[in-house]
Amino acid sequence: MRFAFKTSPQETTWSDMLAVWREADDIDFYESGWTFDHFYPIFTDSTGPCLEGWVTLTALAQATERLRVGVLVTGNVYRHPAVLANMAATLDIVSEGRLELGLGAGWNQEECDAYGIELPPLRERFDMFDEACQVIIGLLSDTTTDLDGRHYQLRAARCEPKPVQRPHPPIVIGGGGEKRTLRAVARYAQHWNYPGGPVEEFAQKRKVLDEHCAAIGRDSSEIMTSTHLRLGTDLDTGPLVEAAAAYAEAGLDMGIIYLPPPHTPAVLEPVAQALAPLSRPLVS
């Protein structure tokens, strides 16, 4: 298994996150670093502080040299996909080709209600998401893009300059929905993030993904798999290692270690040492 880390920009400070990313950039064990895309803290006090994910990631990309960088994942309802495509191309350029482009349909009702952002019913939301993936991939890959969709219409649309990574940065789709999310992974993604849960559930959903890939003639081994591995607030690495070992046995490619706030670089070396027996180097 390979390993990454995630610092959700909630209940934290810029200086603390920056310190973690700068330290991790010097530790080869960590392949990539991730933020999230929310405007309110999630699964905690939603009135607390929360930095915007893409702006934060852009600054962190400039503060690092080696780590691949990504937002896990971007909520489609928050931005027009053509705007997001331009953001992604620019960040891939300023990071010199280190972007992992995380995408999701969006789900946070509280944020949408507060900001007046429409959060359609689930079926319509995934119809939008499928069209958004076509918009983003087209703009990042092709000279011009046309789309006459129900939700998005593009006419000879351009996105210049193109990203460093061709035909586009790797698409990461997060979620576990078997009918729509995993079908979108099979169609559009190079990386599937299973948000977390029982290892048995991951294995079952991986079989569903295999079936979606087979239906369109795609080799599912082309798609990297990852999940969140949570480090507890007590910073005990024992449960983390146990969870990582179980996922490694199930064939997971990457464990993304969710670091709890307050963020501190002091946890990085102990975590890397504890998980080192499970790690395998990235083959370039």
Q: Report pLDDT digits (tens) over 244-277.
A: 999 999 999 999 999 999 999 999 999 999 999 9
Q: Which residues pair with 74 in a beta bridge?
A: 103
Residue 240: pLDDT over 50: yes
Per-residue CA distances from 23 to 255, 268, 272 (Å):
19, 8, 12
Q: Are strands 171-174 and 153-157 parallel, antiparallel or unpaired?
A: unpaired
Q: How confident is the model at residue 280 (pLDDT cuts 50, 70, 90)?
A: confident
Q: Which tokens is 110 given?
A: 């509280």
Residue 283: pLDDT over 80: no
Residue 223: pLDDT over 70: yes
Tens-digit pLDDT profile for residues 165-195: 999 999 999 999 999 999 999 999 999 999 9
Q: Are strands 191-194 and 171-174 parallel, antiparallel or unpaired?
A: parallel
Residue 116: pLDDT over 60: yes
Tens-digit pLDDT profile for residues 24-56: 999 999 999 999 999 999 999 999 999 999 999
Q: For helices 122-141 and 181-188, give the axis angle rounded to 10 degrees.
A: 10
- Amino acid 281: pLDDT: 58
Tokens 């046995």 belong to residue = 249
Tens-digit pLDDT profile for residues 122-158: 999 999 999 999 999 999 999 999 999 999 999 999 9
Instruction: Report the distance separating Cα 196 and Cα 247, nearest Å.
Output: 10
Query: What is the share, in percent, of the chain residues with pLDDT greater than 70?
Result: 99
Residue 23: pLDDT over 50: yes
Tens-digit pLDDT profile for residues 58-114: 999 999 999 999 999 999 999 999 999 999 999 999 999 999 999 999 999 999 999
Per-residue CA distances from 274 to 116, 144, 238, 253 (Å):
45, 48, 8, 18
- Amino acid 154: pLDDT: 98
Residue 282: pLDDT over 70: no
Is 71 in contact with 54 (CB distance < 8 Å)?
yes
Average pLDDT, the chain: 96
Is 176 in contact with 104 (CB distance < 8 Å)?
no
Is 121 in contact with 128 (CB distance < 8 Å)?
no
